[in-house]
Amino acid sequence: MFIKVEGHQFIKNNKPYHFIGTNFWYGAHLGAKQSGNRERLLNELDVLQAHGITNLRIMAGSEGADHLPYSIPISMQPDLGVYNEDILEGLDFLLVEMQKRNMHAVVCLSNFWYWSGGLSQYLSWVTGDPIPYPNDTNDWEKYMRFTAKFYANENAIKAYNKHVETIITRVNSISQMLYFEDETIMSWELANEPYAIQNQVEYLKWIETSSDFIKKLAPNQLLTIGGEGNTPFPLFTNNNALSDYKFESLDYITIHIWIQNWEWYNPKKHEKTYKNALKKAENYIKEHMTIANTLNKPVVLEEFGISRDHLDYTKQSSVNHRDVYFKDVFNILLESIKSESCFVGCNFWAWGGSGTVHTPGTVSNNNMEFIGDPSHEPQGWYSVFESDETTLQLIKMYNSEIIKLNQIDL
């Protein structure tokens, strides 16, 4: 059965559905027969399942030529409208193997950020304008303003819509199942972290028209934006969850919380900064729970993470502070579940599994070894590895508690 929404709850098999899952954005690329590593993918899924992690947020889009700087090395769509069938079959393989393990996918169709191509690549393709990579310019505002022009560009939106249709109407080469009929796919997301910036009117129009388009293609699967929520900088990002998620075609609200990126927390000064950062994170969740209650929709914290202790990027370093943070977030979720409130699930960022940190603390600039940290960010920053035993046991314990709660009448 498809996962459904009733009021501000997810429902699976006539029972509430809550979860602690993860971001596994590179799953389709691991699943590629020629360029991927299917043996590793199967092991990753087995480890995740063993710890109760059955909700995976994955990418179903990577755009641009292979081996672009700061990007996924082998692209799903290396040129406009041209697809790498090996990567698409990797996505097929991933979904089939997830189905075998009773897992569900949150499928992100594009990205505001350049590490998978995304909206900036569509815009660059149709205009011929180069993408101003902030890793080169150190000007993140310039990049964001460039990418936000996508919402007002008719040809870029047509290219995006063509991709959306290609994925949602795809026939799985292994199961022969249409994607829009696959119960493994819990939901579709318009894009990862889209910001309105200076194009708020066009941004809202894009949300409305794109969500209507997707709902017509996949009426039985859920749909959401995939954004951060209001963000701590709403006057710049021009994101407003109350208006962004008002459309009936959107089934639930997503939020992301980045206590270090947003300068709430300093990992080198944990004792001095953590308590206040946690309070801000809790308030951010509560702020969006209020919005979710107003709209009568569930809310999912689908990205959150914290660095390894003292900002050490090596895989062997300790994760005591991360464990504390994860436990505190999980407790907020657990209390919401117990009270039948609208905060219903979370996905930590991000699964690194058995991957290797080749360039600790620096960008990999297109390294073939997939971990949780995209290539444009410091490697080893937020990845949760198979070797992080204390973190995994914590996740397993809370997922077991959630399963228990879902089996009883609260």
Q: Dump pLDDT digits (tens) for 70-118.
A: 999 999 999 999 999 999 999 999 999 999 999 999 999 999 999 999 9
What's the pLDDT score for residue 199? 93
Distance CA 79, CA 18 (A): 39
The CATH class of the 4-406 domain is alpha beta
What is the tens place of the pLDDT at every residue in 386-407? 999 999 999 999 999 999 988 7
The secondary structure of residue 139, as a DSSP letter, is -
What confidence score (pLDDT) does residue 367 get?
67
Read off the pLDDT of residues 337-363 as tens digits, 9 standing for 90 and up: 999 999 999 999 999 999 999 999 999
Q: What is the pLDDT of residue 406?
A: 84
Residue 186 has which token pair?
Answer: 């819990």
Please indicate whether residue 163 or residue 369 has the higher confidence score (pLDDT). Answer: 163
Task: State pLDDT tens for residues 222-254.
Answer: 999 999 999 999 999 999 999 999 999 999 999
- CA–CA dist 105, 15 (Å, integer): 18
pLDDT given for residue 273 in this prediction: 98
| Whether residue 409 has pLDDT greater than 70 | no
Q: What was the pLDDT predicted at 408?
A: 55
Query: Nearest 5°: phi and psi at 208?
Result: -65, -50
Single out the residue of 379, 382, 390, 388 nearest to residue 356, CA to CA.
379
pLDDT at site 69:
87
Using a CB cutoff of 8 Å and minimum separation of 24, what contacts does 363-372 make? 363/70, 363/135, 365/69, 365/70, 366/67, 366/68, 366/69, 366/70, 366/71, 366/73, 367/73, 368/73, 370/26, 370/29, 370/30, 372/23
- Greatest CA separation found in the chain? 57
Structure tokens at 212: 């209507």
Cβ atoms within 10 A of the Cβ of 123, count?
25
Both tokens of residue 259? 């206590």
* Confidence (pLDDT) at 388: 98
pLDDT band at 365 (very low <50, low <70, confident <90, very high): confident
Distance CA 132, CA 135 (A): 9
pTM: 0.97
**Per-residue pLDDT at 196:** 98
Q: What is the mean pLDDT of residues 264-278?
A: 98
Structure confidence by residue, pLDDT tens digits, 19-61? 999 999 999 999 999 999 999 999 999 999 999 999 999 999 9
Q: Is residue 359 within 8 Å of 367, Cβ to Cβ? A: yes
Q: Are the C-beta atoms of 300 and 349 separated by less than 8 Å?
A: no
Average pLDDT, the chain: 96
Angstrom distance (rounded) from CA 67 to CA 90: 18
pLDDT of residue 186: 98
Across 298-314, average pLDDT: 98
pLDDT of 203 strictly over 90? yes
Encoding tokens for residue 55? 């909700």
Judged against a pLDDT cut of 50, whether residue 410 lies above it is answered with no
